[in-house]
């Protein structure tokens, strides 16, 4: 029969072993929890870094695209101003000559033909309004001098000058005054709509139509940044 003291010792040893096993298991669980927490933290940090890089890359691309658009728009805006300024100067010159001589002088005919050639060379971005205008001039000059309707030509030139002046003012330009040939210094929207209808253009547009180079820029230049 075991002595009570031996039984107590065996019980104490069993409890000690059980406690040691429990502590070891507990430490293993703590280590596993820490490992998982570290892995989750590392994964979260990696995902955050990846997202940050994507955001930074998107911001850089967007900024580059915006700068590209601004550069292209600035260049094309200057081209539009140059082209429409050229048309405005020529039409007002011819109007002044017609008012002075009560007819369309041969020199003005040559000036208009030269204008048509220059506009066709400069209009690489597809300004449909200007194309319609120069086509009207070309058609009007195609008749023999004796058969030309000078009144119709004068009316078309005045409508062209009105639309061109409104656009130039909208672009921040200061074209020379043409009040002497009945072109308002600041054409009203109604004046522009009337002029556009007279030329066969869309009469519902305001005094400064959408710049015609937008689609050209979007289709051919900005895509290089993407």
End-to-end CA separation in angstroms for the chain: 92
Rounded CA-CA distance 87/116 in Å is 9
Does this model's pTM top 0.75? My answer is no
Mean pLDDT, the chain, as a whole number? 81
Taking only the tens place, the pLDDT of each residue in 196-205 is 999 988 644 4
pLDDT at 169 over 50: yes
Residue 145: the pLDDT is 75
């Amino acid at each position: 029969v075991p002595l009570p003291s031996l039984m107590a010792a065996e019980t104490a040893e069993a409890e000690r072993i059980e406690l040691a096993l429990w502590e070891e298991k507990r430490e293993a669980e703590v280590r596993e929890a820490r490992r998982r927490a570290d892995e989750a933290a590392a994964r979260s940090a990696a995902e955050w870094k990846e997202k940050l890089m994507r955001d930074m890359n998107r911001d850089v691309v967007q900024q580059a695209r915006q700068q590209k658009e601004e550069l292209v728009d600035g260049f094309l805006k200057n081209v539009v101003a140059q082209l429409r300024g050229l048309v405005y100067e020529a039409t007002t010159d011819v109007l002044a000559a017609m008012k002075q001589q009560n007819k369309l002088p041969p020199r003005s005919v040559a000036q208009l033909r030269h204008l048509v050639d220059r506009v066709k060379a400069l209009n690489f971005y597809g300004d449909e309004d200007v194309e319609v205008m120069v086509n009207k001039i070309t058609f009007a000059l195609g008749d023999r001098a004796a058969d030309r309707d000078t009144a119709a030509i004068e009316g078309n030139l005045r409508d062209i000058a009105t639309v061109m002046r409104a656009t130039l003012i909208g672009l921040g330009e200061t074209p020379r005054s043409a009040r002497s040939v009945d072109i308002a210094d600041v054409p009203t929207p109604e004046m522009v709509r009337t002029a556009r209808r007279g030329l066969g253009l869309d009469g519902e547009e305001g005094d400064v139509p959408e710049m015609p180079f937008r689609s050209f820029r979007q289709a051919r230049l900005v895509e290089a940044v993407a």
